[in-house]
Amino acid sequence: MEQYWMPKKLDFKNLRLCLDNYSPTFIYIRLVGSMGGTVKVNEKLGDKKLDFKKDKSGLYMLVDSNDVFHFPLKDYQKGFSLEYGRIEPTKDGIGRMVILSHGIDPYDPNLPEPQKSTLRTVLDNHLMEIDFEGRINLKFHSWWDKELNWKYWTIDKPGNHHSVK
């Protein structure tokens, strides 16, 4: 999976940047380990507005100002990651999903442009995924492990392009 990890300390800043600058299309929340069996939120957003509120009692995910899920943030170990959904053209016209490992430059000109971006995290034993149209821009933040070529990234506003050097 082409996944880009972000520092936990920037989670809510990154979430705000995504929701304010990109077009969310879907939110999905389920219990970890349930393999899709214990789904709590599974909603196409269309014209609905996705937002969040964070206070002392945790994180509230809101759709059209209505609370759809509350994370108390009592078990919160990792930061967000972002996955790109890239489709490579094929001769039959169907296309195939591009599967890449870590350490890839998200702006590699040899790769097809992402058709969607998925912001993902695990909070309080629940997986949350938010899909967005097209590419959410990233910029390099810091090294997680230079020997393994693992990097931390952060969300960038549309129009900015930050290739890794």
Which residues make beta-bridge pairs with 121? 128
| pLDDT tens digit sequence for 95-105 | 666 666 655 78
Write down the pLDDT at residue 165: 45
How many structural domains is the chain composed of?
Answer: 1
- Give the lowest-confidence range in 9-18, 34-43, 50-59, 141-150: 141-150
What percentage of the chain carries pLDDT values higher than 90?
58
**E strands of 2-133, at which residues?**
3-5, 24-31, 39-44, 50-55, 58-63, 66-71, 81-85, 87-88, 96-97, 116-123, 126-133
77 domain residue, yes or no: yes
| pLDDT tens digit sequence for 81-122 | 999 888 776 677 676 666 666 557 888 888 888 989 999 999
Domain interval for residue 91: 3-155
pTM greater than the 0.85 cutoff:
yes
Contact 95, 88 (CB under 8 A): yes
